[in-house]
Amino acid sequence: MTSEPTVLRTPDERFAGLPDYPFAPHYAEIPDVRFGPLRMHFVDEGPRDAPVVLMLHGEPTWSFLYRKIIPIVTAAGYRAVAPDFIGFGRSDKPSSRADYSYQGFVDWLRRFIKIEELQRITLVCQDWGGPIGLRVLSEMPDRFDAVVVANTLLPNCEPPPQGIVGWPGKVIENWIETCRNANDLQISEIVAGACLERPSAEILRGYDAPFPDASYKSAALQITCCIPVTQDMPGVAENRRAWEVLERFDRPFLTAFSDRDPSTKPWEAVFRNRVPGAVSQPHVEIAGGGHFLQEEQGPVLARHLVDLLDRLYR
């Protein structure tokens, strides 16, 4: 007898009083053939008729990661939309690792953009927000006006110049192996370990907030195992097709990687060399940031983002 799929929802009180995160919650009902509607949380700040900045987190974070950037974007007159992927943040969390796949995350995000009728989008993506967001862009490119990639990748298992030497490398290989064999993760310690300076206990509590116990962490455990690191894995062919779209994408495409990211830095040059929209952009290397540069250098990243938006719309 097959049991009914279980979907968990983090209690609201876990999110009370988080530092610098005063944003009212918004929810979209995302259709799913297995679970029925899944509730997807998102921050939505700024003028509703303004160009949209779609901010995508990675693993194991959530929209809390963008709390320093959102007010700067809205103060400049733009609309900031920061969703939590299904399984993360305030969004619903299917309880089994088998409930998650790379394609599933892409499908959920694409449905969210359609439901919320987002247009004139500038995509900002980091970590797994890149592979998910860039795949969606490749399927609906007319909705996107610009891109800012920051400490992210779009793996394709191809040699240079299409890909990078030595992919995936020991850092990512070890991280995948850790997640594959684990049944729990210390979420805040993962964030702290990838920062150059340890965040305060209060901030680390914010990263732990969505996950009362290990049963809520199936997405955080599984998403890394979905990275296509060999040519026979699901997602490689789709990523290569996405690259074909990116090789025709001539709208602004800015790289804003940090100087101290140990895992994604080599992809910076691939984006700059393969995407036409990256030509002549004022690309930036952000000093003093580890992997989670939004946490450590959020205002700096926000200023470069707003500069791009002003060049594009004003």
Catalytic residue positions?
Answer: 127, 261, 291
Pairwise CA distance, residues 227 & 220, whole Å: 13
Residue 227 · residue 171 · CB < 8 Å:
no
Dist. CA 253–CA 259, nearest whole Å: 19
Question: Is 217 within 8 Å of 210 (Cβ atoms)?
Answer: no
Residues 6 or more apart in contact with residue 81 via CB below 8 angstroms: 42, 43, 44, 52, 53, 54, 55, 116, 118
Give every CB contact of residue 170 below 8 A, 6+ residues apart in sequence: none
Query: Of 273, 212, 239, which Cα lies nearest the Cα of 106?
Result: 239
If you compute the radius of gyration of the chain from its CA atoms, what whole number of angstroms results?
18
Q: What are phi and psi of 214, to 5 degrees?
A: -60, -25
Q: Which helix (H) or strand (E) holds 58?
A: none
Token output for 184? 């729990």
The Cα–Cα gap between 291 and 206 comes to 18
Sequence-distant (6+) residues with CB within 8 A of 130 are 56, 58, 149, 152, 153, 154
**Residue 296 exposed, middle or buried by CB count within 10 Å (0-12, 13-18, 19+):** buried
Cα–Cα distance list, 118 to 7, 40, 246 (Å): 27, 15, 20
